[in-house]
Structure formats: C-alpha cells, structure tokens
Structure 1
C-alpha cells in the first residue's frame, strides 16, 4: 500500500507539473504553501489541475471498490461495472437528466450546484434499473448463471448506450458536444463542485463495502455452505450490490462512463496481496486511483495541446487486459 501511495504521488506530481503550461516543483510547492502568491499559478493549480487529480483519484477508488464487490458477488473474474452495463444504465439516467434539465456537465458553475448534487441520485436510479434487469435475466433456477450474466450485461450495455446516444442527438449542438465529451469518459473540465458531489457517496458506501468485505470471502463457497454459517446470502448480496451501484453512479455522474478500471484493479490487487477481500478492497481502491490519474495524465499530454478522453486511454489499456483474462480463464 505504501508503494501504491508513492505511485499515486508520482502520478499526481507528473500531472500537476506538466501540460500546456509547465511549472517547476518549487513553483508548485510555493503556490500550495502560499509562500509566493501568483495569480497564474493559483489559477492553473487550484482551478484546473488539482480538482482534476482529486476527481480522477476519487473515481478510481470508487470503480476499484465496486469492481471487487461485483466480482465477489458473481464469482466471476470478468465482472466489471462497465461490462455488466451498470455504467451504461447510470450514464443513460444522467444524460436523461441533462436533456430535461439542461445541465452542462463540462461547464458547470456554482449556480448549478443543486442540479449537480442531484445527478448521482439519477445515476443511482439508472444503475439500479440496469442491475435489476441484468440479474433478473441472469437468474436460472434461483442461481446466477455466469454465461447469462455476461451476455445480458453486454445487451443491457448496448441498449442503454443507444438510449444515451438517442437522447444526446435530440439536444442542441452545444449540449450535444458537452454530452458527447462526457459520455466518452472525461474529467478534463472537472471542478471542486464535482468532487464535493461524489465525496459523501464515496465515504459512506466505501466504508460500508469495506466493512462487509469479509462476506465476499464466504460468497466464494457453495450457497448451502454459506447458509449453514447463518448468513442471509441473498439479502447480503443485494445490500452489497446496491452499495456498488451507488459507488458506480456517483463516479459516472462526474466523469462519464469509464470502463475496465473495475476489471483491472481487483485482479492486480489479488496478484499483490492474495484473495482475502479485506486486503483486496483497499489495495484495489488505490490501484484504481493510481491508474486513473496516470491515464488522465497520458490523455492530457500525449496529443497536447489537444486532449484524449481518459475513458479512451483506459479502454486502450483495458481491452488487451480483458482479452488476456479471457484467454487465461479458458486455459
């Protein structure tokens, strides 16, 4: 965990000092500690780069923890909020909210803070609907069928993705541009309102799933064995599922749909610390934060002065990793 924290600090250092407007380490330290006040440095650090780093870290933590929960509940190493369609369901609900309330996610100001605070709630409703549809179709004789789960998730993902696209095409040109950037998975115009919006969800639900992470160890057993231990299996699964949907919805509401973090982070964490979920959960959260900060830095600098959406960067890394896991599971 110390090494992961160091990785996050290094990624944050690269992110905050590099870009169209480069700064030295001393410039950053002086600005942060208020030794020398400079309006240009204040603007770049506190209004552009620091909120972006904080939100990338928070979203990575949320998606990493949600991925651990979903993989533990389904006993499927390929489960991920993006692949299962939960991201798409939450995203479609947020686009619906944007369509009716005309909220510009990439240019939000303090006057729209109430609308922004409502977006995770809409995302939660959409994500919950997607999760209910997926799990109801995947049930076979009262048990989750893993093949059905993945196939249903792909179908739900496509359906909600099409709904999001349809709604965005009905918007004005300016609103469509905002929605398209957001749907690609982008945090480049993030601000402190977004961070404050998702922080309560992340704190409450993150603490809850971490405290309940020991149950994920039991869920790897046969259901008869778990029931004999006095655990209400379906009830606990539903609570954890709703908590993970809440985490994903809060993340999607501020960053758009970013896939594969919830897939990669738990696998890397298990390779580092083993299969006990009370260790996997915090390590996966830190890996998710580090990966997303690093991916956002790459998207910001590789094609500078143009920017690549962080969701695209993560997909470029995540798709080969997903195929590797698929081949590995077949073997």
Structure 2
C-alpha cells in the first residue's frame, strides 16, 4: 500500500505540474500554502487540475473495489463491470437522463448542479437493471452458470450500448458531442460538483463492502459448504452486488464508461497480497487509483494540445491484459 500510494503521489505530481501550462513544484507548493497567490496558478490548479485528479482517484477506487466484488461473488476472474454490461446499463440510463430530463430541470430554473447530483441515481437504476438481467439469464439449475454469465454480460453490454448510441443520435449536435465524449470515458471536464456528487457514494458503499469482505473469502467455497456455515448466501450476494452496482453507477455518472480497471486492479492486487479479500479490496482500490490517475496523465500529455479520453488509454492497456488472462485461464 505504501508503494502504491507513493506511486500515485508521483502520478499526482506529474499530472498537476505538466500540461499545456507547465508549473514548477515550488509554484504548486506556494499556491497550496497561499504564499504570494497568483490568479493564474489558482485557476489552473484549483479549477482545472486538482478536481480532475481527485475525480480520477475516486473513480479508480470505486471501479477497483467493484471489480474485486464482482470477481469474488461470481468466482470468475474475467468478471468486470464493463465486460458484464453493468457500465453499459448505468451509461444508458444516464444518456436517457441527459436527453429527456436535463432540459426540463433547466427550464424550471433548477441549477445544473442539481442535475449532476441526480445523475448517480439514474445510473444506479440502469446498473441495477443490467445486473438483474444478467443474473436472471445466467441461472441454471438454481445456480449461476459462469459461461452463461459472461455471454449474457456481453449481450447486455451490446444491447445497452446500442440504446445509448440511438438516444445520443437523437440529441442536438452540441449535446451529442458531449454525450459521445462522455461515453468514451473521459474526466477532462471534471469540476468540484462532480467530486462532491460521487464522494458520498464511494464512502458509503466502500465501507459496506469492506465490512463484508470476509464473506468473499467464503464465496470461493462450494455453495453447500457456505450454507453449512450458517451464511445467508443469496441475501449477502445481493447486498454485495447492490453495493458494487452503486459504486459503478456513481463512477459512470461522472466519467462515462471506463472499462478494464475493474478487471486489472483485483488481479494485480491478488498477485501482490494473496487471496484474502480484507487485503485484496483496499489494494484493488489503490491499484485502480494509480492506474486511472496515470492513464489520465498519459491521455492529457501524449497527444497535447489534443487530449485522448482516459477510457481509450485504459483500453489500450487493458485489452492485451484481458487476452493474457483469457489465454492463462485456458492453461
């Protein structure tokens, strides 16, 4: 954890000092400590870079923890919020919200801040619907069939993705451009309202999941063995899944669909600390945080002055890793 947090601070340093307007460490420290305050530095740090970095940290934590829960509950190392279609379900609900309700909210003089605060709730509804459909069609002989789970997840992902695209094509050109960038997975337009809108969700659901982390160890056993221990397996699974869907929905509401963080972070965590989930979950959060902050820095700087969506950068890293895990699981 110390190493991962140190690496994240390194990525934080690179992110906050580099960009279209470079700053020195001394200038950043002076700005934070309010020594000789400069309006230009204040604008760059407090309005643009700092909320973006903090949002990347929160989204990375949420997706890392959610991925660990999904892999633990399904006993499938290839389970991921993006692959299973939960991202797509939450994303489709938020695109529908953008299309149908955001204009209504503005027309009755409610601030856009309220719209942003409401987005995680709509994402939660869509993510829960996607998860319910996936698990409904994955049951075979009163148990979840892992092969069906992945296949159903891919189908749900495609279906909700097509719905999102159809709705976005009905938008006016300006709103479509915003929706298209958002769906690619981007946090470049981050602000403090985005941070405050997901912070309660991340804190609440992360706390619930960590309190229940020991159950994920038991879930690796056969179901009959778990029941013999007196654990209400279906109730606990539903609680953990709802908590993970809450995390995913909050993250998707502010960053769009960023895949593969939930796949890679738990695998890397298990390589570092073993299989006990009371260690895997916090390390997955730290790995997800590091991956997303560093990926966003890469997306911001490699093609400067243009920017590459962080979801694209993560996919460039994640697709080879997914194929590696797929080949490894066959051996």
Could you say which TM-score interval applies, normalised by the shorter chain? over 0.9
Determine if contact 1:102/1:175 at 8 Å carries over to the other structure: no
The 3-state SS of whatever aligns with 2:82 is coil
Give CA deviations for 1:255-308 in whole Å, capped at 9, x if unaligned.
000000000000000000000000000000010000000000000000000000
**Quick one: distance in 2 between partners of 1:179 and 1:268?**
32
Is residue 320 from structure 1 mapped to residue 331 from structure 2 by the alignment? no
Aligned to 2:272: 272
Alignment of 1:25-40 (within 5 A): 25-40=25-40
Is residue 23 from structure 1 mapped to residue 23 from structure 2 by the alignment? yes
Determine if contact 1:89/1:130 at 8 Å carries over to the other structure: yes
**Quick one: distance in 2 between partners of 1:210 and 1:112?**
33
Is residue 70 from structure 1 mapped to residue 86 from structure 2 by the alignment? no
Uncovered stretches (5+) of structure 1, i.e. residues with no partner: 104-109
Aligned to 1:171: 171
Alignment of 1:229-244 (within 5 A): 229-244=229-244
Determine if contact 1:138/1:149 at 8 Å carries over to the other structure: yes
Shift, 1:36, TM fit? 1.6
**Quick one: distance in 1 between partners of 2:260 and 2:142?**
29
Shift, 1:320, TM fit? 0.2
Determine if contact 1:64/1:285 at 8 Å carries over to the other structure: yes
**Quick one: distance in 1 between partners of 2:8 and 2:111?**
32
Alignment coverage as a number of residue pairs:
325
Determine if contact 2:102/2:115 at 8 Å carries over to the other structure: no
Is residue 43 from structure 1 mapped to residue 43 from structure 2 by the alignment? yes
Shift, 1:101, TM fit? 2.2
Give CA deviations for 1:187-233 in whole Å, capped at 9, x if unaligned.
00100000000000000100000110100000000000000000000
Shift, 1:115, TM fit? 1.1
Shift, 1:102, TM fit? 3.4
**Quick one: distance in 1 between partners of 2:111 and 2:150?**
41
Give CA deviations for 1:14-71 in whole Å, capped at 9, x if unaligned.
0000000000000000001111200000000000000000000000000000000000
Alignment of 1:287-298 (within 5 A): 287-298=287-298
Alignment of 1:1-331 (within 5 A): 1-102=1-102, 111-331=111-331
Determine if contact 1:72/1:220 at 8 Å carries over to the other structure: yes
Give CA deviations for 1:304-328 in whole Å, capped at 9, x if unaligned.
0000000000000000000000000
The 3-state SS of whatever aligns with 2:304 is coil
**Quick one: distance in 2 between partners of 1:102 and 1:235?**
36
TM-score (norm 2): 0.97
The 3-state SS of whatever aligns with 1:36 is coil
Determine if contact 2:135/2:144 at 8 Å carries over to the other structure: yes
Aligned to 1:107: none
TM-score (norm 1): 0.97
Uncovered stretches (5+) of structure 2, i.e. residues with no partner: 104-109
